[in-house]
Amino acid sequence: MILDPTLSEETVEKEAARIAASFPEGKATCQNLGRKKFAYPIKKQTQGYYLLCNFNADAQKRTELEQTLRGNPALLRYLIIRALRPKKKDLKAQG
């Protein structure tokens, strides 16, 4: 996720905590990657705060999260992707 650069560090941390708190205990983590410059402007901004959030959720909870994110004016952009789990044979080869 990318948050508005005009926000304070404290507000960015609160947003990360709010997103993580919307999931059951221990199911989500949000990491603040700091303020970075964009390669091109996004909503007339040239930089923003990057948040990396990992979570486990079913499709319904993901949809609820997307609706919440769309309504957040502090959010410039977000992307939700599905992480692939390693195959069992790959785990056996590593171990």
- Can you give the pLDDT at residue 50? 93
CB burial class (10 A; 0-12, 13-18, 19+) of residue 22?
Answer: middle
- CA torsion angle for 63, 69, 72, 76 (degrees, to 10)? -140
Taking the C-alpha atoms of residue 4 and residue 74, their distance in angstroms, rounded to an integer, is 5
In this prediction the pTM is 0.76
CB neighbours (10 Å) of residue 29? 13
What is the count of structural domains for the chain? 1
Residue 76's domain spans which residues?
2-94
Looking up residue 76, the CATH number of its domain turns out to be 3.30.70.60
pLDDT tens, residue order, the chain (95 aa):
999 999 998 998 888 888 878 777 767 888 889 999 999 999 999 999 999 888 887 888 888 888 888 888 888 998 888 877 766 665 566 65
Q: Which ranges of 1-94 would DSSP assign to H, the alpha helix?
A: 9-21, 59-70, 88-94
* CA–CA separation, 74 and 5 (whole Å): 9
